[in-house]
Each structure stands twice: as C-alpha cells, then as structure tokens.
Structure 1
Amino acid sequence: MADAEHHHKESPVESVMDKITEKIRDHDSSSSSSESDDDKKSASSPSMKDKGFRLFGREKPVHKVLGGGKPADVFLWRNKKISAGVLGTATVIWILFELMEYHLLTLVCHCLIVALAMLFLWSNATLFLNKSPPRIPEFHIPEEPVLQVAAALRIEINRAFSILRDIASGRDLKKFLSVIAGLWVLSIVGSWCNFLALFYIAFVLLHTVPVLYEMHEDQVDSFSEKACMQIKKQYAVFDAKVLSKIPRGPLKDKKKV
C-alpha cells in the first residue's frame, strides 16, 4: 500500500518531467532535421552549385536548348523507334534522290499511281467478293500547326536579319570575323556537295551530336573549356600584333537636335 501511495503521489511529477523531456527531444530532432533539410536544399540549389564551364555558355539542359517537346525527344532518342524511323526515312529519301538520281516530281507521280491503282482494284474486287469496300480516310492539313510553323520561321528569320544588321553595323569585330569565317567554311563545304547532301548531313548530325554530347557532357565541356582558353590567348596575340595596329579614324558623336 505504501508503495502504491508513493507511486500515486510521484506519478504527476514524473509525467510532467516526461513531457518536458519529450518536448526537448522533439525540438532537438526538429532543429537537426531542419538543418539537414536546409543543407540539402543549399547543396541542391543551382546558386550554390559550381556550374563550371558549359559549351556555348548554355545554362539549360540539352533538351531545353533543343526547344523541348517532341522534336527534342526525337533528336535525343528518347523514343528509339520514332528516332530510328525518322532517320531511316531521311536516309531512304537521300538514297533515292542522291544515289539513284530520282526526281521529286517523278517519285510523287509514281507513288500516287501505285496508291490509286491499289485502292481502285481493291474497291472493285470487294463487289465480286461480297465484302465491305475499303474505308479511305479524309486527309486535311490543320490550320493551327501550319500557322505555328510559319510564326516560328518568321521569328527565326527576323532574328537572323537582326544579327546580320548588328554585325554589319561594325560594333563587334570579333563577331564579324567569326561570322565571316563560318560563312567561308560553309561555302567550301557547299562546293563539295549539293544542297540535298548538305541537308542530309545536317539532319544526321542533329540526330547524333546532341545525344552523344548529352552522354559525355562533362568530358566535352572540360575539353571545350581548354580549347576556348587557347583560342582566347591566340586572339589576344592577334589583336595585339595586328588588329591594334590598324589605323582607325576619329569617331564623331552625332548630336541629337
């Protein structure tokens, strides 16, 4: 009885002490977990990470650089069947027009002749076989995708015109020299092959270079960083020895009336 009475008297005090210790433990655990969460967030935040050098100064993933969506999925082989089908179709077209010297109008006419002949014979054969005629679907080009493609082309063409105008204004000598060198290389490549072969080469590169770069991104970025440093050093030497010695006339500021 004495033990029971003693336990009964001390139980409220013990319960209060237990609650206090539980609160202290909960506070410590919550503070430690919040600190660990903050450490994880700070470590995973892009502002705290060392981004390092990225090819062409990009800040987005390769998928976003290619525009995202289905075209980027095709270029990066997210769906291997679709990407292989697109590349295979382009290869067949290149073989027909380039190697077999097939003409576009001839190919279209031959395809239409075969398709119409097969559908015509099939439709007449069903009358004798007592079967339902083939269901020929109605094909039509929707307006919205055409307008989207036209708007995207208009934006890119206007951007190209703006870049060419900026280069021709003489504000950036480095950009001018790089564009001239690029056009010169492109003209040499164009003299080696016709437009169709050049277009096919560009198409194949779009289906191979981005996915290979995504697979070996760190190695390519490291190598390109070293290459850019060497190019900058060589350009600094060229600027000091050649470009800086070119005489330039005084620039007169035009006063606005």
Structure 2
Amino acid sequence: MADNNAADHEQSFVESVKEKITETFHKDDSASSDSDNDANKSSPVSDVKDKIYRLFGREKPVHKLLGGGKAADIFLWKDKKVTAGVVGFATLIWVLFELVEYHLLTLICHTLILALAVLFLWSNAASFINKSPPKFPDVVLPEDIVLGVANAFRLEINRALAILKAIASGKDLKAFLGAVAGLWVASILGSYCNFLTLFYASFILLHTLPYLYDRYEDKVDAFGEKAEAEIKKQYAVFSVKVLSKVPVGALKAKFA
C-alpha cells in the first residue's frame, strides 16, 4: 500500500509539473501573438501618420521652418514678453508715422534732443545730488554684423532676381500666371494703403499666422487639403478650356 501511495504521489507531482510547463508555454505564445498583433496594428498607424497631409508639403515642425532660434520663438509667441514688446514697438512706430503723421527725420531729431537733454542735465546735476555721473559706453558697430546683414540682403536679392529670370524665360506658364496674379493683388493693395501700412500689416501677420497655424495645425491642414484639391480641379478645367487653346508651340517656333 505504501508503494502504491508513493507511486500515486509521484505521478500527481509529475502531472502538476507538466501542467505548469504547458501553462508557461501558452503564456509565452499568447504574449508573442499579442506583440505580433500590436506590431501589425502599429504599422498601419505609422503609415497613416506618414501620409497625413501637411500644408505646402511641410515635413518639419513650424518652429524648425522659422529657423528654430530666437526669431522662431518670437514669431510663435514662445517668449510672450519679447514678442509683445516687438509688436508694441512696431505699433507705436506705425501710429506715429501714419496716424500722428510724424516724419522720420523729425522723429529722429526729437528723440536725440530728448536723450541729449536728459543726459546733459543728469551729468551736471550729479555733483549736486552726490551721485555718480552717467557712464557712456563706447558704442561701436561691429564689422561682422554689418557684413552679415549686407550678405543676407545680397543673397535674398540674388534669389529674387533668379526667380524673376526663370519666370521671364517662358518655360513655366503656371509660375508666370502666379507671379502676375501676385503682382496684381499687390498693386490693388498699394492703391488702398501706403507702403508703411502694408509693411506693418505684413509684420503683424508674420507674428500672428504662424502662431495660429502652430496652434490649430490639424484643422488648417485638413482645410488646406480640401482647398488644394479644389484648386487643382479648377486649374484642370481652366487648362482644358483656355490654356490648351493657346498656341505656345507656334510662338516658340516663331521666336526660336
């Protein structure tokens, strides 16, 4: 009887070990299958993210497109005090020149008169009030900054001239029509406001539109996708009805 009990005990022990091993393998298989399912599920999501429409084919964040430095922080209102100061100063200049009708030379002269008067009185009154006179630092315009700004302007002007040359060459009709439309809109805006007001409006838009786009990026991209599809549709109709009837080949052969 003792031998039978020992055999039964040994057999039950072996069966319990087998059950534990089987459960372990089942858990590993289920975990691997779940991970495979998760991998299969994550790939379509990543594919969808890769295929999300971005305005103007943008691939980088807005902050990177604006340079990624201090200027980008100002445009996107990352440093609200600095941005508010810049916008406030631009608004003050526009109010003085446009609403108050100040002239540039008059403003510079009045500012210099006020600054010189304050510093002159401070320097002479310092001995009477037992305070040190103001220290005037040596203000020198660095040569590298001047050359850097001039070089940046030179590069932008050369780029604009290259674009105008490419448009005027007659190889891209779409670019030509876009340039004519842009200049026509600019001429209409110029008839309603002067250069200072137009510059100020552009300055305010530069500090407003990137911030709004960065905040409402998904909604703007969805609307831009629909608008681009509609524009392409209308351009295709215009190309069939109008552009296809323009004898471009005959003109090229005539002027060749």
TM-score range, shorter chain: 0.7 to 0.9
Shift of 1:140: 2.0
* Cα distance change on mapping 1:131 and 1:56 into 2, 3 Å: same
Tell me the secondary structure at the aligned position of residue 77 of structure 1: coil
Distance in 1 separating the partners of 2:165 and 2:216:
36
Q: Which residue of 1 aligns with 2:18?
A: none
- Specify the alignment match of 1:160 in structure 2: 160
Which residue identity does 1:183 align to in structure 2?
L
Correspondence list, 1:211-226, <5 A = 211-226=211-226
Deviation at residue 128 of structure 1 after TM alignment: 2.3
Q: What displacement does 1:146 show?
A: 2.1
User: What value does the CA root-mean-square deviation take over the aligned residues?
Assistant: 2.9
Alignment of 1:50-61 (within 5 A): 50-61=50-61
Q: What's the CA shift string for 1:27-72, capped at 9, x where partnerless?
A: x8xx97xx79x95xx86x9888424221112221111222221111
Matches within 5 A, 1:1-257: 49-250=49-250
Q: Which residue of 2 aligns with 1:3?
A: none
Distance 2:152 2:234 in 1: 38
Aligned CA distance change for structure 1 residues 57 and 184 (closer, same or farther; 3 Å): same
| Code of the aligned partner of 2:174 | K
CA distance in structure 2 between the partners assigned to 1:95 and 1:252 by the alignment: 52
> What residue identity is the alignment partner of 1:107?
L
TM-score normalised according to structure 2 size: 0.79
Residue 252 to residue 157, structure 1, CA distance change in 2 (3 Å): closer
Shift in CA distance, 46/177, structure 1 to aligned 2, threshold 3 Å:
farther
Q: Name the amino acid aligned to 1:54.
A: R
In the other structure, the counterpart of 2:5 is: none
Percent identical residues: 65
Query: Could you tell me which amino acid in structure 2 is paired with residue 142 of structure 1?
Result: P
Deviation at 1:143, TM superposition (A): 2.0
Deviation at 1:79, TM superposition (A): 0.1
Structure 2 residues not aligned, in runs of 5+ = 1-20
2-side partners of 1:248 and 1:161: how far apart? Answer: 25
Question: What is residue 8 of structure 1 aligned with on the other side?
Answer: none
Shift in Å at residue 151 of structure 1? Answer: 1.7
Name whichever of 130-139 and 83-92 sits farther off: 130-139
TM-score of the aligned structures, taking structure 1 as reference length: 0.78
CA separation in 2, counterparts of 1:176 and 1:234? 17
CA distance in 1, matches of 2:51, 2:125: 68
**Structure 1 residue 251, shift from structure 2 partner:** 8.1
Look up the SS of the partner of 1:129 in the other structure. coil
Give 1:97 deviation, angstroms: 0.4
Aligned AA (2:86): V
Q: Tell me the alpha carbon deviations over residues 148-203 of structure 1, each in whole angstroms, 9 at most, x when there is no partner.
A: 22222211111111111111111111111111101100110011100000000000
Shift of the 101–77 alpha-carbon distance from structure 1 to 2, 3 Å rule, reads same
Distance of aligned partners of 1:160 and 1:119 in 2 relative to their CA distance in 1, 3 Å threshold = same
Residues 74, 113 of structure 1: alpha-carbon distance in 2 compared, 3 angstrom cutoff: same
Counterpart Cα distance in 2 of 1:250 and 1:182:
28
